[in-house]
Structure 1
Amino acid sequence: MTLGRAAPDVALMPSGHGGLGSIETVCLSAESEDAVGRAVACLRGGGLVGLPTETVYGLAGDATNGEAVARIFEAKGRPGFNPLICHVSDLDMTARLAVMDDVARVLAARFWPGPLTIVLPQAEGTPVHPLTTGGLATIALRQPKGIAGDIIGRLGRPLAAPSANPSGRVSATSAAQVMRGLGGRIEMILDAGPSELGLESTIVKPERDRLVLLRAGLVGRDALREATGLAVVAPDADSGIQAPGQLRSHYAPHGTVRLDATHVEPGEYLIAFGATPTASAAAAAECVNLSPSGDLREAAANLFAALARFDRPEIGRIAVAPIPQDGLGEAINDRLRRAAAPRG
């Protein structure tokens, strides 16, 4: 089976169940006339919104409101030391939150709005709550496209918005997936259909004469190097967590994930790639192909939908065919390694 970019695969209904307060979660079309206004009112009151962005769906709360940010951690079951990305509407808002040097301005001019997060020193007097930054002196910032940017502009405050899924699990690329993971824990979900890109943002930290790539994503090393003229390097081994998505085990389905599978063992579920069949693929309980044509952009867009499809308690083992490391393959393999990492 090939994954497509179809509409959400389950009907969305308000949810009154869930472990944290049994909130009624309302799902609203992002195209409805009052969608932006209702989302802004919810966020201004300290509520949480499952918000569509061009990368994945985000779990948005007012980044200046400590109680709202605490609710994000609670809803996701997220470790308190893992910082959140702050989403901004424009460079004026960015300047109130962070110290931007020339390199940061070049990156913003080239890639914003879009799928690049920049880690910068916090500005003095920043209104962002310390819970958002995980107690770090830096802040991770991104300007999203579309309705998310409209909502931030109307609200006039940055939004803390990690991916809208329980912590460590598969990132949500549809409103249906947000409802399954967080229904009953948040007030609202805006449904804009499947995510345009389907993979989280690249995270980069400018440092003197280099860029530190903290998380691979849709903006690749070559594009970063071309825009700035700087070397793009991996973080130092002892640098610790500096940005979201750096936990070793992340994006994990229920079952174990076996990478670079050149054959399928009986009963395994298979995530395939490209036109060449994986050996003994007929033994797979079910198969999805990230991109039958071997297109890495298509594979990136379909990655989390594939993991979500096999994210069920009864599925114990998932085999993943080899994915090339070049270009977007670096980001895809990064997510797969985290999905396959030992838990606990």
Structure 2
Amino acid sequence: MSAVYDCSDPHERAAGVHAAVGAARGGRLVVLPTDTLYGIGCDAFDSEAVAALLAAKRRGRDMPVPVLVGSWNTIDGLVQRVGPQARALVQAFWPGGLSLVVEQAPSLAWDLGDGDGTVMLRMPLHPVAIEILREVGPMAVSSANISGGAPTATVDAARSQLGDSVAVYLDGGSADHALASTIVDLTGQTPVVLREGAVPIEEIADVLDLTVDELRGQ
């Protein structure tokens, strides 16, 4: 049976964060609010929990799970090299709605799916998510919906799709933007925007001193 906590109440929020941290450390799944949409997450280094996350979403390994982090510094231990473009984007847009696809550190003992040596990273701008991430560490977090279903902007919408496959649901109210993050791929010679979302592509172009067409691969 899933537990649901209303994070608008300070006491219930504290209990919910404690329960979510315990669940994640115990290999179970949690649904948490972020600044974009609700996410379903687990300890990124628990391969069985990641497999359970993919099963809950009815999603294959061909779509590896992104990773959320709780601080800027965490990225240094997860990627092979933090280049100047990645550093500039992190400083400009984290925490926030920008996801970066980068080459992961080869020594990492995790299995997020078939990522071919890459990982998608983001630091969310949401106090509940940050609190949990700083306790648990990097978490594998995907949108809190069944694959092919509508992304969820409320905890009730997430529960209607994921049900009891999730141990703890944290209700942070409606998502601020209800818009998926913008994704930038930094694994090639030139950055490419894979998905336009919460962070406008024009702002990314300004930071990287590139044109919008270049970021769109045109």
Q: Is this a same-fold pair by TM over 0.5?
A: yes
Identity %: 32
Report which structure shows greater RCO (CA 8 Å, sep ≥6).
2
Provide the rounded CA distance (Å) in 1 between the counterparts of 2:217 and 2:209. 18
- 1:121 is matched with 103
> Which residue of 174, 183, 186 corresponds with 1:203?
183
User: 1:56·1:199 contact (CA, 8 Å) conserved in 2?
Assistant: yes
C-alpha displacement of 1:34: 1.8
TM score, norm. by length of structure 1 = 0.59
Residue aligning to 1:107: 89
Secondary structure, in 3 states, of the residue corresponding to 2:165? coil
Q: 2:6 aligns with which of 22, 26, 29?
A: 29
| 2:216 aligned residue (234, 237, 250) | 234
Match of 1:179 in 2: 159
Give unmatched runs, 5+ long, in structure 2: none
C-alpha distance in 1, partners of 2:147/2:187?
A: 29
2:193 is paired with a residue whose SS is strand
Contact map agreement 1:210 1:230 (CA 8 A) in 2: no
Tell whether 2:131 aligns with 1:154: no
1:235 is displaced (CA, Å) by 5.5
- Distance in 1 (CA, whole Å) between partners of 2:22 and 2:74 is 20
**How far does residue 203 in structure 1 lie from its aligned partner after superposition?**
0.4
Residue identity opposite 1:117 in structure 2: S
Give the whole-Å Cα distance in 1 for the aligned partners of 2:186 and 2:63.
20
Deviates more, 1:55-64 or 1:88-97: 88-97
In structure 1, the residue matched to 2:23 is 42
Q: 1:166: how far off?
A: 0.6
Per the alignment, residue 78 of structure 1 pairs with 59
User: Per-residue deviation at 1:209?
Assistant: 5.6
Contact 1:214 1:235 in 2 (8 A): no
Taking a change above 3 Å as real, the CA distance of residues 82 and 209 of structure 1, as seen in their structure-2 partners, is closer
TM-score by length of 2: 0.91
* Alignment match, 1:16: none
| Structure-2 change in CA distance of 1:235 and 1:196 (3 Å) | same
Aligned mate of 1:59, from 33, 40, 44: 40
**C-alpha contact 1:202 1:218 (8 A) present in aligned 2:** yes
Letter in 2 for 1:70: A
Q: Map of 1:133-144 to 2, 5 A cutoff? A: 133-144=113-124
The question of whether the paired residues in 2 share the 8 Å contact of 1:69 and 1:160 is answered with yes
Change (3 A) 1:208 1:136: closer
> Gaps spanning 5+ residues in structure 1: where?
1-23, 237-344
Shift of 1:134: 2.2
Q: CA separation in 2, counterparts of 1:187 and 1:106?
A: 37
For residue 91 of structure 1, what is the aligned residue in structure 2? 72
1:211 CA displacement: 1.7
Q: Which amino acid aligns with 2:30?
A: V
User: What secondary structure, in the 3-state scheme, does the structure 2 residue paired with 1:217 have?
Assistant: coil
1:191 aligned onto 2:171: yes
Shift of 1:44: 0.2
SS at match of 1:179: helix
Bigger proportion of residues as helix: 2
Q: Say which one has the larger Rg.
A: 1
Count of matched residue positions in the alignment of Structure 1 and Structure 2: 210
> How much does 1:188 deviate?
1.0
Residue 206 to residue 67, structure 1, CA distance change in 2 (3 Å): same
Distance of 2:83 and 2:154 partners within structure 1: 36
Residues 125-173 of structure 1: per-residue CA shift (max 9 Å, x gap): 124x22x142421110000122111101011x21111100111110010
